[in-house]
C-alpha cells in the first residue's frame, strides 16, 4: 500500500538541493551574487519549502497569488493554499526582476546563505493590501494586539517573488539534530515502520497527561498504527518553554507510556504564525505532505489570546475548505481533562453530566508556579517523570 499522496502533486518535491556537488557549486556561486538578509518568517518559509512540507510550492508567491490566497484560499492557478508564503523586505535596494540573488539567514551567526532565488518580480503591497491580508489570514480581534499581525507588518511591504533552491536547514538541523526531520525523512520512516494509518499531533508545549491520552484516544478511534508527535522548533512567544526541554519531556513520555514502534517524536522548522483557523489548515497540508493520513485539531488550535472561537480551527475544515481539496482527514478534539468521577481522562464534551468541579483543571500559570516551586502537579494532570524534567527547567530560571 502506498502512502497518502502529497498536496498538489503525485510525488513530494522538496526544494532542498540534495546533490552535494550541486549544493557546493551553488554555495560558491552565491558568493558572487547580490544578497539580502531575510526576515525570520521568510527564512522559515524557505526551510519549509526545502523540507517538502510546503509541497508543491516552488518559491515565494507574487502579489497576485498572495492576495488570491488571502481572499479565496487558492493561488491564481487554482492551487488550494491557506496563507501567503512570502519574502517580504523593507527595501529591495537595486534588486529587480530577472536577478539571481542569495538569501541570507537572519537566525544564524554570520548570516550564511540559506537559499538562492531567481527573482521573477519585485512588487509592493499597499496599506490596504496589508490590512486585507492581516484581516483574512490572522483574523485579529479589535480588543488586543496580535503577535502574528505585528510580526507580519514588521517585515516590510516590498515582496520578492520567484523560485528558490534551498542550501541548508538553518539552525534547525544543527540545534535539533535528533528531532528536526524533513517531510521526506518522515515519509521514509513511516514506510520503514510499515505504518498504514498515521495520525499527527501538533505541539509547541510539553505534553501533559490530557495530551497523551488524546493521542491514545485518536489512535484507538481511528485504528491508527502510528502517531507522529510533530513539534514546532521555530521562534515562539515570550514565556514558551524552549524546544530542548519540551523535547526531553515528550521523549520521556513516549518511552514510558507508548508501546514500541507506535510513536515518533519529530520536529519541523517554522515560526509560529498564531493564525488560528488558517494556520490549522496549513498544519493539515504539511502533515499530509509528510505522510500522515489524519491530523488532530484541538480546541483553540494555533490560537493566541481571545482572537478565535474555541473550535474555529475545526469548523474552517467544514465551512471553508472545498470538498476534496485535502486528502488528510481531521480528528476533531475537545478539551481533554481528568474526570474524578470516571477516574480517567475524557473529552469534556463526552461527559455531559460533569460540572467543572468534576475535572482536574489547572491553569498554565498555576502549573508554572507549582513547577517553579519544585512541586509536581497531581498525577491526574502530569506524569511524574515529565514533571521532574519541567521542575528542573523552571528551577534553573530562578537561579
Which of 104, 139, 173 represents a domain boundary (last residue)? 173
Does residue 383 carry a catalytic annotation?
Answer: no
What per-residue confidence (pLDDT) applies to 265? 97
Domain membership of residue 3 (yes or no) is no
**161 and 188 both lie in a single domain:** no
**238 and 378 both lie in a single domain:** yes
Cα(93)–Cα(87) distance, integer angstroms: 14
Domain membership of residue 223 (yes or no) is yes
What per-residue confidence (pLDDT) applies to 241? 85
CATH code for position 68? 3.10.400.10
Cα(137)–Cα(124) distance, integer angstroms: 18
**243 and 296 both lie in a single domain:** yes
**250 and 112 both lie in a single domain:** no
Domain membership of residue 250 (yes or no) is yes
Spatial CA neighbour of 122 closest among 105, 104, 101: 101
**133 and 220 both lie in a single domain:** no
Does residue 204 carry a catalytic annotation?
Answer: yes
Domain membership of residue 14 (yes or no) is no
Is residue 358 exposed (0-12), middle (13-18) or buried (19+ Cβ within 10 Å)?
middle
DSSP output for 165-192: EE---HHHHHH-TTTB--HHHHHHHHHH
Domain membership of residue 368 (yes or no) is yes
Domain membership of residue 1 (yes or no) is no
Considering 13, 100, 111, 204, which one is annotated as catalytic?
204
**73 and 56 both lie in a single domain:** yes
Which of 129, 151, 173 represents a domain boundary (last residue)? 173
pLDDT one digit per residue (tens) for the chain, 399 residues: 589 999 999 999 999 999 999 999 999 999 999 999 999 999 999 999 999 999 999 999 999 999 999 999 999 999 999 999 999 999 999 999 999 999 999 999 999 999 999 999 999 999 999 999 999 998 877 767 888 889 999 999 999 999 999 999 999 999 899 999 999 999 999 999 999 999 999 998 899 999 999 999 999 999 999 999 999 988 666 677 888 899 999 999 999 999 999 999 999 999 888 888 999 999 999 999 999 999 999 887 877 777 888 888 899 999 999 999 999 999 999 989 999 999 999 999 999 999 999 999 988 889 988 999 999 999 999 999 999 999 999 999 875
CATH code for position 190? 3.40.50.620
Is residue 157 exposed (0-12), middle (13-18) or buried (19+ Cβ within 10 Å)?
middle
Buried b (16+ CB within 10 A) or exposed e, 213-239: bbbebbbeebebbbbbbbbbbbebeee
Residue 270 Cα to chain centre, angstroms:
6
Q: Is the peptide bond before 81 cis (omega within 30 degrees of 0)?
A: no
**100 and 112 both lie in a single domain:** yes
Domain that holds residue 60: 20-173
What per-residue confidence (pLDDT) applies to 235? 67
Domain membership of residue 13 (yes or no) is no
**368 and 230 both lie in a single domain:** yes
Q: Could you tell me the three cell numbers for 48? A: 519549509
**132 and 182 both lie in a single domain:** no
CB 344 within 8 A of CB 214: no
What per-residue confidence (pLDDT) applies to 364? 81
Which of 143, 173, 203 represents a domain boundary (last residue)? 173
What per-residue confidence (pLDDT) applies to 399? 56
Cα(295)–Cα(264) distance, integer angstroms: 14
Alpha-helical regions (H) of the chain: 20-30, 40-50, 63-72, 127-133, 147-154, 170-175, 183-193, 209-222, 243-257, 276-289, 312-319, 364-372, 384-397
**181 and 168 both lie in a single domain:** no
Residue 255 Cα to chain centre, angstroms:
24
**159 and 237 both lie in a single domain:** no
Cα(157)–Cα(146) distance, integer angstroms: 18
CB 54 within 8 A of CB 85: yes
**66 and 43 both lie in a single domain:** yes
Considering 23, 72, 205, 235, which one is annotated as catalytic?
205
Total tally of structural domains belonging to the chain: 2
Domain membership of residue 8 (yes or no) is no
Amino acid at each position: 500500500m502506498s502512502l497518502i499522496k502529497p498536496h498538489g502533486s503525485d510525488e513530494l518535491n522538496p526544494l532542498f538541493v540534495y546533490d552535494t556537488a550541486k549544493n557546493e557549486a551553488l554555495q560558491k556561486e552565491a558568493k558572487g551574487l547580490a544578497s539580502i538578509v531575510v526576515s525570520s518568517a521568510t527564512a522559515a518559509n524557505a526551510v519549509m519549502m526545502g523540507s517538502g512540507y510546503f509541497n508543491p510550492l516552488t518559491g515565494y508567491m507574487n502579489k497576485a497569488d498572495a492576495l488570491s490566497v488571502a481572499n479565496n484560499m487558492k493561488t491564481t492557478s487554482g492551487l488550494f493554499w491557506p496563507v501567503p508564503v512570502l519574502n517580504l523586505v523593507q527595501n529591495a535596494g537595486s534588486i529587480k526582476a530577472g536577478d539571481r540573488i542569495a538569501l541570507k539567514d537572519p537566525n544564524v551567526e554570520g548570516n550564511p546563505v540559506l537559499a538562492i532565488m531567481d527573482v521573477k518580480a519585485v512588487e509592493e503591497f499597499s496599506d490596504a493590501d496589508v490590512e486585507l491580508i492581516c484581516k483574512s489570514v490572522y483574523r485579529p480581534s479589535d480588543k488586543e494586539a496580535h503577535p502574528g499581525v505585528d510580526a507580519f507588518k514588521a517585515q516590510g511591504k516590498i515582496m520578492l517573488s520567484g523560485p528558490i533552491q534551498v542550501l541548508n536547514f538553518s539552525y534547525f538541523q544543527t540545534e535539533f539534530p535528533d528531532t528536526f526531520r524533513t517531510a521526506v525523512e518522515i515519509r521514509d520512516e513511516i514506510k520503514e515502520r510499515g505504518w498504514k494509518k498515521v495520525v499527527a499531533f501538533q505541539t509547541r508545549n510539553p505534553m501533559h497527561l490530557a495530551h497523551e491520552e488524546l493521542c491514545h484516544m485518536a489512535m484507538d478511534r481511528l485504528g491508527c498504527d502510528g502517531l507522529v508527535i510533530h513539534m514546532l522548533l521555530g521562534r515562539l512567544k515570550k514565556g514558551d518553554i524552549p524546544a530542548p526541554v519540551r523535547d526531553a519531556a515528550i521523549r520521556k513520555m513516549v518511552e514510558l507510556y507508548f508501546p514500541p514502534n507506535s510513536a515518533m517524536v519529530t520536529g519541523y522548522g517554522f515560526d509560529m504564525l498564531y493564525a488560528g483557523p488558517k494556520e490549522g489548515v496549513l498544519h493539515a497540508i504539511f502533515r499530509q505532505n509528510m505522510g500522515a493520513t489524519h491530523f488532530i485539531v484541538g480546541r483553540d488550535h494555533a490560537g493566541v489570546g481571545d482572537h478565535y472561537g474555541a473550535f474555529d480551527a475545526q469548523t474552517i475544515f467544514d465551512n471553508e475548505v472545498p470538498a476534496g481539496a485535502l486528502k488528510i482527514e481531521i480528528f476533531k478534539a475537545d478539551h481533554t481533562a481528568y474526570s474524578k468521577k470516571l477516574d480517567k481522562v475524557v473529552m469534556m464534551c463526552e461527559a455531559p453530566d460533569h460540572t467543572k468541579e468534576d475535572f482536574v483543571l489547572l491553569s498554565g500559570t498555576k502549573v508554572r508556579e507549582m513547577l517553579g516551586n519544585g512541586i509536581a502537579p497531581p498525577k491526574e494532570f502530569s506524569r511524574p517523570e515529565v514533571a521532574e524534567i519541567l521542575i528542573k527547567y523552571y528551577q534553573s530560571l530562578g537561579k
